[in-house]
Amino acid sequence: MGWAALSELVPLYPLYALLFLDTGLSGAQISLLFAVWSVTSFVTEVPAGVLADRWSRRGVVVLAGVLQAAAFAVWTAAPEAWAFAVGFVVWGVSGALVSGASEALVYDGLVAVGAGDSYARVNGWMTSAELLVQVPTAFAAGALFAVGGYELVGWASVVACLAAAALALRFPEAPRTTDDDEEEEPLRRGVVEALRSPSLRVLVLAVALVGGLDAIEEYFPVLAGDWGVPTTAVPVAVLVIALAGAAGAALGGRADRLPGNALLGLLVAAAGCLSLAAVWARPAALGAVAIFYALYLAVLVVAEARLQEGIASRHRATITSVAGLGIEVASLLVFAAWALAGPFAVVALVLAVVPVVRAGLRTSGPVHR
């Protein structure tokens, strides 16, 4: 949990969009940068999982931190459009490296000490920590910017990423087997394993669809502004939603003990809260959005835990990365739904995901051999 919090304690996170604007980039240029970031992550997601399985999951997580530090160093040393593009490519690779490897590393580490059944609780607390750390990060960003502008914020972010990488060096990692070193075509084998078993295939799809719904977080500031929250108060309103989400994620371990129908009930209730908020459309409606986010993250934590439990293979990071690739694709559905009909379309998307989640959550324990 300490690594999860430290990896998110990056002062540039709340300020990098403003850095782009203050550097003179247009809205179209910023969108292009985000596209470069997204495409890089998409292309490198599964190969990054293969690297983690073939080489070292801990080593991949450490490398991810170093690459992210390098990306921010480039931005800080040369705050220009070309440097931002290069930085996003490097950051995209970094994000792909850590996405599958970190979950596999934590799960296998727990299994090694006989605590595999606590993964949902640990994963929930890690997700919660990543959200809670937004509070000190926001204050740190403001203080650093006041003292030394974007340059100090940038170099402090480089130090934070390197510190997270150093902390990751302390993660225990089980030694690889001889078969891991001798295996041929690991990418093909890992992807085939993710798709061959019907049970595992449904779990991967469920995690992809549920995880993709998290893209709605990008629209929380939009909702706040559209519903009459003053611009100066929007960051606080969004922070309240994030804190509610942290609480929901922290309760993921308890939610993991619920029967399948109760978990589906949480997801349906989340959709109901979001629908109510969209109809109400007032500043107070953000309270319903906060409840939606809390319930949603509790279900997401459980789904991620069920996926890890369902993988009985040396290709854990690769298969997790396949789910991560699915999340990238599913997030596009959220963006498209929002473009069509705003939060109401997202509500419909949440409800459409329920049958797949139902099928996935009915599976427990290792299902792939």
Neighbouring residues of 36: CB distance < 8 A, sequence distance ≥ 6 = 85, 88, 89, 92
Q: What is the pLDDT of residue 328?
A: 86
Burial 202-230, CB ≥16 within 10 A → b, else e: bbbbbbbbbbbbbbbbebbbebbeebebe
Q: May I ask the CATH architecture of the domain 190-362?
A: Up-down Bundle (1.20)
Tokens linked to 313: 């293979």
**Continuous segment of H or E residues that includes residue 201:** helix 198-212
3 state SS for 137-180 = HHHHHHHHHHHHHHHHHHHHHHHHHHHHHHHHCCCCCCCCCHHH
Q: Which DSSP category does 230 fall into? A: -
User: What is the model's pLDDT at position 8?
Assistant: 83
Q: Do domains 1-172 and 190-362 have the same CATH topology?
A: yes
Q: Please check whether residue 303 is in contact with residue 124, taking contact to mean a CB–CB distance below 8 angstroms.
A: no
* Per-residue model confidence (pLDDT) at position 365: 44
| Superfamily (CATH) of domain 1-172 | MFS general substrate transporter like domains (1.20.1250.20)
Within 10 angstroms of residue 295's Cβ, the number of other Cβ atoms is 25
Report which of 68, 51, 47 is spatially closest to residue 59, judged by C-alpha positions: 51
Backbone angles phi, psi at 78, to 5 degrees: -140, 75
* AA identity, residue 170: R
Please tell me whether the overall predicted TM-score, pTM, comes out greater than 0.85 for this model.
Answer: no
Each domain of the chain, given as residue ranges in start order, spans 1-172, 190-362
Residues of the chain with pLDDT under 50: 178, 180-182, 184, 364-369
